[in-house]
Structure 1
Amino acid sequence: MSFFVQRGRRNQAFTEPFWQEWIGALESATGKVVNWRTALQVATVFACCRVIGNGYAQVPFKLMQKSGRRRVPATGHSLYRLLSLKPNDWQTSFEFRQMLAWHIELCGNAYVFKNRGISGKIFELIPLPPGRVTPRQDENLRITYDVAGLDGTTRTLTRDQIWHLRGPTIDGFHGLDVVKLAREAIGLAMATEESAARLHKNGIQNTGVYAIEDKLDKKQYDDLAAWIGKQFAGLQNVGKPMILDRGAKFLNTSMSSVDAQSNETRKTQVEQICSFMGVLPIKVGFSDKTATFASAEEMNRAHREDCLSPRWEAFEQSAMINLLTDEEIDAGLYFNFTEEGLLRGSAKDTKDVILGYVNGGVMYPNEGRELLDLNPDDDPASDQLRVPANIVGEPKPAEPAIPAPQE
């Protein structure tokens, strides 16, 4: 494990080009340097990452197994505990999945080292900073990963050792860097934010030219500049009148925030950044005055369908092909986000939906109780479908439970 642990020596990995790309940045047209660190200082970028990260992490993620028509949690498999509770010694499953989501959204890629035992079984999942990993594809389409360790060395690992999660990709093996692609939108948001901050720092006063008729020598110029700065600059001098002598004139040369349409620009940048991240503005706390409770509910539904569901599907498939063997997949093992918790509406809506499923013969009463996190009812009738009276047929008991699968 020394490859992942600092040994007290100088970290040579920081001199590598991909580290410079990770810590370094590209300059936007506004002159602002944009990378993942500076981008996170923009409230909209941070909020988008938080919304997506929580969408990954707050929904239970379980290893399941199909057996005939039944699906049960594969609690006997070691990956069940790793992915649903404790992937390593220092992280919970929530923290682990939330961090991977932030890596994907900010850098386009997330990398996890699959620590295996002598038997080949995965017993630990170690997340790697994206800046320390460089994927490469050779002429035979084999993908390898150059990983810079904290001890200054670099090793080449194979696909069997790295779980690589990608965002949208063009070449098929490396995800697109959204922060770089959105650097102009993010840079303009940073510049507008700084402009507003400087305006308030100066007491929301316009700047301009202090012109006098006589010629000033260097000492007179320095004294006058210091006097103006002390008397009229800053919040403490807001509202103080400027007294001009020696025929001096003050010529305003700046635009106010209204003239510059700062508020409009800041609102537009929220929408632009949300477009890049695929998040509805209402989910980051930005909405116009036309939003209602009814429209907010539809927007939450759209957020689940358009933002989270595709990411859940990509995460599930990536976990299956990277963590499970072909034999385990053929045996019916699969990963699944349990999204029912996000689908609940008000208490009345939840009651109506579950009652509709139970009384309509779609769900056993005990299954409805399970959705509400209630213990099962001991009455045998609670494990039978309630077939409506207008449908011919006898109530069918639930299929007997099958034992949890083992590795």
Structure 2
Amino acid sequence: MITKFFEKRETASYSDVELAMLKAFGIDADGYQTEEALKEATYFTCIKLLSESVAKVPLYLVKETEVGNVRQNKEKLFQILSLRPNPYMTAIDFWRALEINRHHLGHGCAFIEKDRQGNIINLWPIELKNLTIDNAGLISSRMKNKVLVTYTEIGNNTEQYCLYEDIIHLKSFSSNGINSRANREMMQKTIDTASKSQKYLNDLYKNGLTNKAIVQLTSDNKEEKFLRTVQEKFDRLYSNTGRIFTVPAGYNVSTMNLTLADAQFEQIRRMSISQIASSFGIKMFQLNDLKDTNNNSLEQQQLSFLVDTLLILFESIEQEADWKLLREDQRSSGQKCRFNTSVMLRTTAQTQADILTKYVTAGIYTPNEARLMTQMMAKDGADELVVNSGVMKLKDLGKDIAGKGVK
């Protein structure tokens, strides 16, 4: 027996009359849809920032040795991870697609294609449809493969099946460690409010910044035939596609909309933007909101973005790749998949020069290692660590190199 992890949700439905009434008052009753969220500017920008921030950091296959991590350039998996996961995608395209699906759909997945010997050939982005688990549960199940994956691949909407060990699975918000929910589901009301506010502005500009108005007949005649005749006459003579019309005698016109100031539109919209950004771990300065930012705090916020937001994304990819893409003997030999997060810490030329100078003079980097970090060629004789000879222990003051006293 099996149990599906994805639950089905019901949506509200309206009659034609109710839809017409809601539309007349400017209310969108179409409901919250998957793709509609991406049309909201803040939501789209946050997902774009996260996916590109992860994709631009290279993922390497390295081997842990006594002298540090050494890149395994000659391994096929090295090229798959950092250059070409499959013949049709660069590494940036691949990891960006997985991160977009992780945050927008709740699951960023890729199918692991292997040859007959078990070697990895390609990695293919897929869309996860269902996770089916043995009814006995993950702990009590006696089956070798306890989870079955239902997915669709690029260019083919037909559902296909594979085992859980055959996919890379990057999760968004998960309370059970297996199934996860998309950020748009957790922040549905806030994102929906932001979408509605943008739609309101669009409609306002479309109407020439003119508010809705009610045209009311001042006559007390209530006969249906008479009212229908008056309505048709007004529509024929005065209603048109223009923005200005003449109000006939006997009619009263009054607006029915609040102004943007009265509705505190700016404050509400800024609050929605802040809530959406915080749910993704995006800083407000990254959304071009520099109201509470100065030059001193900007660098700290960038470091905070790396530590508080991106680090857990990097770690999740590294752990999943280590387990799914490496064999047991490879892990035992010290091989692992690691992001080069140092590219995120690039600063101005002056700051970089100060940092590298301190590392070299302190004996942490060799001069050649510092030159390589600035994209310069190595020089002969610059592979040795150097230190400032003017630094010595306090107890050695008054002694020469041979240990003899100096007068």
Whether TM-score is above 0.5 comes out as: yes
Match of residue 82 from structure 1: 80
The amino acid that maps onto 2:210 is Q
Deviation of the 1:313 alpha carbon = 1.2
2:132 paired with 1:136: yes
Secondary structure at the counterpart of residue 345 of structure 1: coil
The amino acid that maps onto 1:260 is A
Match of residue 334 from structure 1: 336
Is this contact kept in 1: 2:63–2:335, CA < 8 A?
yes
Match of residue 368 from structure 1: 370
Deviation of the 1:90 alpha carbon = 0.7
Match of residue 264 from structure 1: 267
RMSD: 2.7
Structure 1 residues 338, 229: closer, same or farther in 2, change over 3 A? Answer: farther
Deviation of the 1:280 alpha carbon = 1.4
Choose which of 253, 256, 259 in structure 2 pairs with 1:253. Answer: 256
Q: Which moved more, 1:207-216 or 1:178-187?
A: 207-216
With normalisation by structure 1, the TM-score equals 0.82
- Aligned equivalents of 1:98, 1:388: Cα separation in 2: 45
- Aligned equivalents of 1:267, 1:30: Cα separation in 2: 21
Deviation of the 1:205 alpha carbon = 1.8
Secondary structure at the counterpart of residue 51 of structure 1: helix
The amino acid that maps onto 1:286 is D
Choose which of 315, 321, 327 in structure 2 pairs with 1:319. Answer: 321
User: Of the two, which has the highest radius of gyration?
Assistant: 2
Match of residue 56 from structure 1: 54
Structure 1 residues 57, 25: closer, same or farther in 2, change over 3 A? Answer: farther
Match of residue 19 from structure 2: none
Deviation of the 1:269 alpha carbon = 1.2
Structure 1 residues 204, 20: closer, same or farther in 2, change over 3 A? Answer: farther
| C-alpha distance after superposition, 1:305-355 (max 9, x if no partner) | 111112111111111111111211111111111122221211110000001
| C-alpha distance after superposition, 1:26-48 (max 9, x if no partner) | 67997453343111000111100
Structure 1 residues 74, 274: closer, same or farther in 2, change over 3 A? Answer: same
Unaligned residue ranges in structure 2 (runs of 5+):
14-26, 139-145, 397-407
Choose which of 350, 353, 360 in structure 2 pairs with 1:351. Answer: 353
Structure 1 residues 213, 166: closer, same or farther in 2, change over 3 A? Answer: closer
Note the 1:204-223 alignment, pairs <5 A. 204-214=209-219, 215=221, 216-223=226-233
Secondary structure at the counterpart of residue 171 of structure 1: coil
Secondary structure at the counterpart of residue 230 of structure 2: helix
The amino acid that maps onto 2:388 is P
Q: Which moved more, 1:246-255 or 1:297-306?
A: 246-255
Is this contact kept in 1: 2:108–2:171, CA < 8 A?
yes
The amino acid that maps onto 1:223 is K
- Aligned equivalents of 1:346, 1:107: Cα separation in 2: 37
Relative contact order higher in (CA < 8 Å, ≥ 6 apart): 1
Aligned positions, number: 363
Structure 1 residues 365, 158: closer, same or farther in 2, change over 3 A? Answer: same
- Aligned equivalents of 1:34, 1:383: Cα separation in 2: 60
Choose which of 158, 169, 175 in structure 1 pairs with 2:174. Answer: 169
Aligned-residue sequence identity (percent) comes to 21
With normalisation by structure 2, the TM-score equals 0.82
Secondary structure at the counterpart of residue 350 of structure 2: helix
